[in-house]
Copies of this chain bind each other. A is one copy, B any other.
């Protein structure tokens, strides 16, 4: 068995630590346009690492961050497995909340802290280790490992290359290792993710910041206009107040619902968040709200003074960041246009409103539980964890997922070792060695079971 080698024979803990530390040290924040040199360094490191495993590596370049495809041929006649990861990460702010440098691995017992520790360098790490484990063998699948660098910023380059690289991406199974499970002891297969579309709203008022005594009461304050409009985006019951927002929403079939465990553990939730369940549409239960209903969340508002004490200013402008999470049948562009129209219709005289719909939107995606890939993954999970997987959905989004599925022709298989408590997209992101090992074992076992199916 491949998986018996991990940490015992082939890899020592030191080697895994070193690989993790190297990987997270690259400041690959894809929303930062000045970070491109870091992406180049990271891809050079990935290329060297994968070539040392005997994989052939090609680098694809678009306008943004380079994309890497490593291939490792399997036994003749074996199926092709395309594995997807990303090497880019979220911004690190608020930086003051990090207990350690986000780009320097901090290892404390079994825990590993860094930006990207889980999302997605930590989950990419065990895929790299799996290829290393298969070095010199003829695996039971042809392996293609695709690692892109713009997942957190709309996968723009990969999106543009999907058609051109269709041949190289062809696969029987398209595995996305960028999600997780609800509890450490129960593995999970993710049968669907929400879609996403992002908007930036800018309200501009006076041509310069003004004194709030001299001008208070006689000039439209962009902050007043913005809070009024943003407050109108939700109704009292927590539903989204944008006309037409729910028009395309299709709720799941009874068959789909019966497979899902829709219970929610509020104690677990409160342990992580410090708060009870809240937000969203009060009409629905928490798990339904998170998995099966769309949302509109404010991700940031900034305008005027924010320092100590007070500053008597009416700011010239204020900005809000919004993302909508979407469910099957909702079209991201159409939904964003509805939100944009709702906002612009409510801009008062004396304010110039601008709404930018960001590229890199994505539709919701669903996988059938009855595919050979899901069966192989479920078998592998039961073997590694000693318990069959839960079937879950994910409230988060991987916009490239449905498009990659379409371009590759492979059945979608989404899973991972993430836990809700990993602090992804937040300060002090972390993972642990135990789960990296479980991920490694599961991936190699799945490759075996996929080979057996043929």
- A interface list, Cβ under 8 A from B: 31-33, 90-91, 93-94, 97, 153-154, 194, 196, 198, 200, 205-221, 223-224, 226-228, 230-232, 234, 264, 269, 273-281, 286-287, 289-290, 293, 295, 297-315, 318-319, 321, 323, 325, 348-351, 358, 394-397, 420, 423-428
Contact of A216 among B31, B93, B295, B303 (CB under 8 A): B295
Are A309 and B426 closer than 8 Å at their CB atoms? no
Min C-beta distance of A211 to chain B, whole Å: 4
Task: Determine if B278 and A350 form an interchain contact, defined as CB atoms under 8 angstroms apart.
Answer: yes
Docked-complex contact A212 and B312, CB < 8 angstroms: no
B residues near A231, Cβ cutoff 8 Å: 227-228, 230-232
Residue of B with least CB distance to A288: B217
A209 pairs with B94, CB closer than 8 A? yes
**CB pair B213 A394 closer than 8 Å:** yes
Report how far A93 CA is from B307 CA in the complex, Å: 10
B275 and A425 contact, CB distance less than 8 A: no
**Minimum Cβ distance to chain B for residue A157 (Å):** 14
Contact status A221-B297, CB under 8 Å: yes
Q: In the assembly, what is the distance between CA of A31 and CA of B323, in Å?
A: 35
A217 to B269, CA, bound (A): 13
C-alpha gap A228/B215 in the complex (Å): 24
Pair A311/B211 contact, Cβ less than 8 Å: no
Assuming the contacts A218-B289, A300-B304, asked whether A311 and B227 have C-beta atoms less than 8 A apart, the reply is no
- In angstroms, Cα B153 to Cα A311, docked, is 8
Q: What are 26 A-B contacts defined by CB distance under 8 Å?
A: A90-B312, A153-B310, A196-B213, A198-B310, A198-B312, A208-B428, A209-B425, A210-B425, A211-B425, A213-B396, A214-B420, A216-B280, A217-B289, A217-B293, A218-B287, A219-B273, A219-B277, A219-B278, A224-B234, A227-B227, A275-B351, A297-B312, A299-B311, A301-B303, A301-B304, A309-B358
Q: A200 contacts which chain B residues (CB < 8 A)?
A: 310
A330 → B minimal CB distance (Å): 14
Leading 6 A-B pairs by shortest Cβ distance: A213-B396, A300-B304, A207-B274, A278-B350, A217-B280, A220-B278
* B315 adjacent to A305 (CB under 8 Å): no
Given contacts A216-B295, A299-B314, A300-B315, contact A273 B210 (CB under 8 A): yes
Q: Is the CB of B297 within 8 A of A300?
A: no
A33 touches B216 (CB 8 A): no
Q: Which residues of B contact A349 (CB under 8 A)?
A: 276, 278
CA distance A315 to B301 in the complex (A): 10
Residue on B nearest A317 in the bound complex, by CB? B94
Are B279 and A221 in contact, with the CB atoms below 8 A? yes
Q: Are B311 and A304 in contact (CB under 8 A)?
A: no
Question: A111 vs B379: C-alpha distance in the bound complex, in angstroms?
Answer: 79
**Judging by beta carbons under 8 Å apart, are A212 and B299 in contact?**
yes
For the complex, give the distance between the alpha carbons of A208 and B424 in Å.
11
Contact (Cβ within 8 A) A208 B97: yes
Given contacts A216-B297, A224-B297, 6 further A-B contacts (CB under 8 A): A91-B305, A91-B307, A212-B425, A217-B280, A223-B230, A226-B301
Instruction: Provide the bound-state CA to CA distance between A206 and B297, in Å.
Output: 14
Nearest CB in chain B to that of A269: its residue: B218
| Contacting residues, chain B, for A234 (C-beta < 8 A) | 224, 228
A395/B216 in contact, CB under 8 A: yes
Chain B residues with CB below 8 A from A208, complex form: 97, 273-274, 423, 426-428
With contact pairs A213-B396, A216-B325, A299-B313 given, residues A308 and B420 touching in the complex (Cβ less than 8 Å): no
Closest CB of chain B to A39's CB: distance in Å? 15
Q: How far is the CB of A304 from chain B (nearest CB, A)?
A: 3
Interface centre among A211, A297, A351, A427 (most CB of B within 10 A): A297
Smallest Cβ-Cβ distance to A306: which chain B residue: B302
* Closest chain B residue to A209, Cβ basis: B426
* In the complex, chain B residues whose CB is within 8 Å of the CB of A221: 279, 297-298
Chain B residues near A295: list those with CB within 8 A: 212, 216-217
